[in-house]
A and B are shown apart, each in its own frame.
Chain A
Amino acid sequence: MAEIILTPVGKIDIMIEAEVITPDNFTSKSADEIKKLLVWQGPKQLPLSKFFDVKGDAASSPQETSIIIDGDVTRVKRIGAGMTAGKIKINGSTGMHVGSEMNGGEIVVTGDVESWAGMEMKGGLLHIMGNGKDHIGCAYRGSWHGMTGGRILIDGNAVSQLGGGMSGGEIVVTGSVENFCGIRQNAGLIVVKGDANRGVGAEMSGGTIVVSGTIKNFLPGFEHVDTQSDLTFGDITCQGDFLQFSGDHAIVARTKGVLYASKNANEGL
């Protein structure tokens, strides 16, 4: 696998939009050619070399191309947007829209991500080892069709609107989430190993949400249907006893949505 190492240089003033950083765009390019690829900074297009030191040449296919970003890129948005194959590893934290609309391949972020990571993702793996912000794996504003495939793993916490409008794929959060996790979800799987605040599964019409911790303000539109233990979804397992609910009946007439909440952590339910 050919490795390209991008090392951030200097301080970035206005955030840059770097959807150009994907194995697809780097394919068959030498380090010098990659340096010349353009990124947006405000209204201007500037070469990648203004912001990164580039080492290594790409392979002749995206599958064989691996990009390592060695350092903090919190002021860089859209890394890996729309990528279809190959690997990106970010040794640090990154800005908004990382892996949004990605279709395949793998992105690993060792630090934190900003909002909109994996927005409307269609395939591949996005692994966030730190924390995430809002709208992860979510639909774009106004749309009700979010992630349709692939997998997002978050080792830390996420904030609000995780998996909003989700229509497929899987999101697993090891930590906790805040509000409206799985809002308008119509298919796919969301697993939260920690706690959730309020609005879990609001307006959901399909798909599955599992919360292994406490749901602080449980929605009234969910009906208890069963109690189950040790859930398995392919290679994803959730240990313990779970209350199974169907919903959200408050809004959706014929919903197929399923919500599992930990029995022990939610005594009032």
Chain B
Amino acid sequence: MAQTIEIKNGYVFDPLNEIDGEKMDIFIRDGKVVPELFESEIINAKSIDAKGMTVMPGGVDSHSHIAGAKVNVGRMMRPEDSYKWSRGKTALTHSGSGYTVPSVYLEGYEYSQMGYTTVFEAAVPPLEARHTHEEMRSIPMIDTGGYLVLGNNWFIMRYLRDGDIERAANYVAWMMKTHKTYGIKCVNPAGVENWGWARNVGSLDEANIHFEITPREIIHGLCEINELLGMPMSMHLHCNNLGQPGCCDITRESLAIPNKIKANQNLDVEWAETKIDSKRMQSVYLTHAQFNSFGGTSWGDFESGTKEIIDYVNKTDFIVMDSGCVPFGEATVMTGDGPAIHNLYALTGNKWSNTDIEMECGSGVIPFTYLKANPIHSVQWAMGLELLLMVEDVWKSIMTTDHPNGGTFLKYPQIIAWLMSQQAREKTFGECHAWARDRSDLGGVDRELSLYDIAILTRANPARTVGISHRKGSLGIGADGDVTIYNIDPTELNTRNYEQVISNFEQAEYTIKDGQVVSQQGEIKMIPEKRTYYSDITVKDEGEKDMLSDVKEWFKYYTVGFANYPTPEKYLMNPTPIKVNNER
């Protein structure tokens, strides 16, 4: 299959190479970006004339719920979500349905049509890793990987309480390999374990029952382990008290915990050439910051608490966060934070689901509709945008909706329009509840992001933050030949016409993956090979042996046998281990 292509005359936005709308040609040979093609190759290569168009690296979504048990629970409990959002099969594509929780095939097609080529599943409970991989392998068009939920894991809590960081690190390394997962996710540390006993934790120094470990100790421990092992991404944090008025305080405090821990990304991989350092800088990656930045003390005096977070992020350099924007409309809230889902149920009375995942974590799902007429939802809308517009350095943030929690990923173009156009924000201010303006700082923001900034928020920075920038998120020599071409002429771009911006980002003119046109103007052109990334971490044999003998001893509390616990590689589509070199 020809994976050789030239993309001519486009305006290129490649932030990792500091290319800001320069008119240039991109060449891809055998699926990788190369400096040029030989005359003889050009004759046979596909050539795309991108004159008057915007060329960016393929989109990277670093936090999205696309596969696994809770996504599937969302699908099962929401037939109404599928009823009015479906598409038939074609000679090339499968049929599919679901608006906020699409079926696997539809997820791949919809992401690809928007120009995305890589998406990471945000939460994989270890016991559900098989299920997650079974779904992930069926998502076409995009490369995938998943983050392993470890913040309430019994082994981790015990090792950290006993100060046994070595053993905990060996355990994490083994778990990543065992479940073919990519990075460490920490959800409501210490709290979800308590939720198994109908309790939660309220502060960073409140020890949970049985394990008597505090959220602070877990966050610090996991960050330390992460850098000890040299993981591709930093520890991925979902803070305590999420979704409760005033939670911005605990979030800011949590972010300060790893301030002395130095980022140490130690990968044994081929790096694509980039002008600026494409190694990750941060030692903690905060997720869906919006849901963690609620101000006020109750729903009555609720307000945006993002200022506290933004100020802190602005003056430090070890934090990256994704926004978790709320673009209004239908959503399905799903998280490993069981108590947060129960709170939402108590608030809305909606149908809901909660699960305890033995010895590991928990989760919950609840359908949700964000309404412009609702004061809280309107403030949440403003908060998501504040987080992206008021953090000075764009390299500290990533644009997400925490799909499908704040809204579906299909709303990304709408968010881009709000970021690029003050006019678009003013229009929405006019339509939504007055609290959006009164209880946030968004009304006073006149910043309008450029296409270069958008390329950072949606490609370069997600790739760098999760440590896949050695092959994704740039068009440097040696990078994967993933390119998106949008029908936007940057020289004539008028963001006052934000409806046009939305429609241009909704449908990429071309999405190119590994040097092949996979979708064009909303039509799927081919189903490319896809890869699943996971971290393959080298640890010392004796350390692993010692840890395993302990794990096997405690495995008696599991309802599965030790031999049935691991996820074999055959569950993955093109398993692609990232060698993490832990030779110390």
Rounded to whole angstroms, the CA-CA distance of A142 and B81 in the bound complex is 8
CB distance from A145 to the nearest CB of B (A): 9
Please determine whether A143 and B349 come into contact, CB atoms closer than 8 angstroms.
no
CB distance from A183 to the nearest CB of B (A): 13
- Interface stretch of the complex, out of B72-80, B158-166, B487-495: B72-80
Closest to B349 in A: A252
Please determine whether B79 and A140 come into contact, CB atoms closer than 8 angstroms.
yes
How many interface residues does chain A have, given as a range?
under 10
Rounded to whole angstroms, the CA-CA distance of A139 and B81 in the bound complex is 12
Among A140, A142, A144, A252, find the residue whose CB has the most chain B CB atoms closer than 10 A: A142
CB distance from A132 to the nearest CB of B (A): 21
B83 at the interface (CB under 8 A from A): yes
Please determine whether A142 and B349 come into contact, CB atoms closer than 8 angstroms.
no
Identify which of residues 229-269 in chain A touch chain B, using a CB-to-CB cut-off of 8 Å: 252
Chain B residues with Cβ below 8 Å from A144 are 350
A11 at the interface (CB under 8 A from B): no
Q: Is the interface of A mostly helix, strand, loop or mixed?
A: loop
Rounded to whole angstroms, the CA-CA distance of A141 and B77 in the bound complex is 10
Q: Mark A126-151, 1 if CB is under 8 A from B, else 0.
A: 00000000000001111110000000
How many interface residues does chain B have, given as a range?
under 10
Q: Is the interface of B mostly helix, strand, loop or mixed?
A: helix
Rounded to whole angstroms, the CA-CA distance of A139 and B78 in the bound complex is 13
Chain A residues with Cβ below 8 Å from B77 are 142
Give the total number of A-B pairs whose CB atoms are below 8 A apart: 17
Please determine whether A140 and B83 come into contact, CB atoms closer than 8 angstroms.
yes
Rounded to whole angstroms, the CA-CA distance of A224 and B299 in the bound complex is 33
Q: Mark B27-55, 1 if CB is under 8 A from A, else 0.
A: 00000000000000000000000000000
Chain B residues with Cβ below 8 Å from A140 are 79-80, 83
Rounded to whole angstroms, the CA-CA distance of A141 and B78 in the bound complex is 8
Closest to B78 in A: A142
Identify which of residues 71-125 in chain B touch chain A, using a CB-to-CB cut-off of 8 Å: 77-81, 83
Please determine whether A141 and B349 come into contact, CB atoms closer than 8 angstroms.
no
Rounded to whole angstroms, the CA-CA distance of A168 and B350 in the bound complex is 19
CB distance from B88 to the nearest CB of A (A): 9
Identify which of residues 323-352 in chain B touch chain A, using a CB-to-CB cut-off of 8 Å: 349-350
CB distance from B51 to the nearest CB of A (A): 40
Rounded to whole angstroms, the CA-CA distance of A141 and B79 in the bound complex is 6
Chain B residues with Cβ below 8 Å from A252 are 349
The 4 closest A-B pairs by CB, nearest first: A143-B80, A142-B80, A142-B79, A141-B79
Beyond A140-B79, A142-B83, A143-B83, list 14 extra A-B contacts (CB 8 Å).
A139-B80, A140-B80, A140-B83, A141-B79, A141-B80, A141-B83, A142-B77, A142-B78, A142-B79, A142-B80, A142-B81, A143-B80, A144-B350, A252-B349
